[in-house]
Amino acid sequence: MSKFQFPPSIISRPVYGTLEARAGKQHLMIADAEGAEALLDLAAPELMARSHIIFISRGTDYAERLKALSPQQFYEGPTYAASVSRIRRVLQDAHMGLQVYLAGTEGLMGQAQNEAMQAGIPHTAIQTEHRGSTARRMQCVHCKGITEDVAIDPFQCAHCGLNLFVRDHYSRRLAAYQGVCIDAEDPGNVPAAKGIYE
């Protein structure tokens, strides 16, 4: 699958790279869906022997191929929410020098990056590679509710029902883009929704 080229944007919007093996005794890899392909590209036997892979399948069937890489530890979870307590547990015992690799959707990478940052790894030291869906995790600035996998703009907040404009302004702490009421100045005047990158 070819990688999506995000258009250039403002500075707060995350920029993703290409995963590369780094020095370190322990390696934690977290991926969802097509993110598995980035791990498959990265895999080398010496690296895998020291790697813990946490894979969130979201209905895809990459798990067997990842397992075949013989990582030191492998876990497959259905969703991020189901996997997050395990991620926390792994980070709790980890040591400085741990290398973190994230691959897949923006929502997955943002949330996992946040866990790693909370555990004490600066965000600049965490590698990311985008694969798969370009949908966004979005916070409604009004009600603070978070909606996953937002692909269209404007969209209706799943929590409070306001029609939101999808901004590029991004908060690492919330792992979310900002949604702002689009018809505040002219209530009811809501343009037709289209894909965020259309």
Partner 1 sequence: MSGAEKIAVRVAEVTALNALVTRFRFEPVGGGLLPTFSGGAHTVVEMQDGEVKRLNPYSLMSDPFDQTAYTISVRRDDEGRGGSLFMHENVKVGDEMVISNPVNLFSLDLRARKHLMIAGGIGITPFLAQIKQLDRAHGNWELHYSCRSEALGSYVDYLTATHPNDVNVYYDDQKQAIDLENLLDGQPLGTHIYVCGPKGMINWVRAKADALGWPREAVHYEEFLAPQPGKPFEVKLAVSNKVIQVGEQESLLEAMERVGVDAPYLCRGGACGMCETRVIDYAGNFIHRDHWLEDDEHASGEKIMPCVSRFEGKTLVLDR
Partner 2 sequence: MTLQFNDETFREDYSFHNSQRAINRFPFPFDKDSYMYAVNMEQHRGGPADSVYEKRFDVDEHYVSEMRDRALVLADDPLRCQSLPHMTLAGWDLLELIMVSKSEDYPDLFQLHRNGDQWHWINKPLGIDDTFTFMDETTLPYGPMEYITRQAQGDFCVLDQRDDNLWMDAGTVTTQADWSLDFDIGMNFFEWHAPVPLAHEKGIFVRALKFLLNIQQGAPARRLNWTMTVNPLLDTSPENYHKWGVQKGTITPENIGAKQHLRVELQTFYRLPRSNALVFPIRCYLCAFQDIVTMPKWGRRLHRVIRDLPEELATYKGFIDNRPMMLDYLSKFDDGLPTSNGIWPEKDSEPPLQV
Residues that bind partner 1 (CB under 8 A): 22-25, 91, 94-99, 119-122, 124-125
Residue 47 C-beta: closest distance to partner 1, Å: 13
Strand order in the sheet with 73-77: 73-77, 51-56, 27-32, 99-104, 127-130
Find the distance separating the first CA and the last CA of the chain, reported in whole Å.
Answer: 19
Asked if 189 touches partner 2 (CB under 8 A), the answer is no
By CB under 8 A, is residue 128 in contact with partner 2? Answer: no
Write the DSSP string, 10-53.
-TTS---------S-S-EEEEEETTHHHHHHHH--HHHHTTEEE
Give the other-Cβ count within 10 Å of 190's Cβ. 16
Binding-site member from 44, 82, 125, 184 for partner 2 (CB under 8 A): 184
The helix (run of H) or strand (run of E) holding residue 120 is: none
List binders of partner 2 among 139-158 (CB under 8 A). Answer: 139, 141-142, 144
Say which entry of partner 2, partner 1, none residue 180 contacts (CB below 5 to 8 A, set by partner kind). Answer: partner 2
Contacts to partner 2 by CB under 8 A: 10-13, 122, 139, 141-142, 144, 162, 167-169, 171-174, 178, 180-181, 184-187
